[in-house]
């Protein structure tokens, strides 16, 4: 998305390489996702519903926030996906966070990140 690229160009973020790598990982994980800006960060939607938002401030790490959108919904009785990778830190049964600190960590966890992205998109429909 040109809007996201332009936003990042203006931001001059110290983790730009990490952010770009994550953008590619997320978008290549599921070709139904669209990318935009939300909360001053890259955001990913499925069928126009927010599902994954990067948290890039403060610039000491990058977090991927997995959620079911901005509107409050009934809390499911259990975590909405099985996370065999143990990447997710659960903040509720329908909200979780992945924290990444550097490019090598992102690259080493690429397959696990893509697996979580796909599971989340399918479960949060």
| pTM of the full structure | 0.93
Closest CA to 102 of 5, 19, 13, 11: 19
Higher pLDDT, 89 or 12: 89
Q: Are 25 and 114 in contact (CB under 8 A)?
A: yes
Q: For residue range 62-118, list pLDDT tens digits in order.
A: 999 999 987 777 888 899 999 999 999 999 999 999 999 999 999 999 999 999 999
CA angle 80, 29, 37 (to 5 degrees): 85
What is the SS3 assignment for 20-39?
HHHHHHHHHHCCCEEEEEEC
């Amino acid at each position: 998305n040109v809007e996201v690229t332009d936003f990042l160009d203006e931001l001059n973020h110290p983790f730009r390489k990490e952010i770009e790598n994550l953008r590619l990982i997320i978008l290549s994980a599921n070709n139904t996702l669209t990318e935009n800006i939300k909360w001053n960060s890259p955001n990913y939607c499925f069928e126009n519903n927010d599902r994954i938002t990067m948290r890039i401030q403060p610039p000491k790490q990058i977090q991927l926030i997995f959620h079911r959108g901005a509107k409050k919904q009934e809390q499911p009785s259990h975590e909405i996906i099985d996370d065999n990778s143990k990447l997710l830190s659960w903040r509720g049964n329908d909200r979780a966070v992945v924290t990444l600190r550097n490019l090598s960590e992102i690259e080493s966890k690429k397959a696990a990140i893509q697996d979580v992205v796909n599971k989340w998109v399918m479960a949060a429909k």
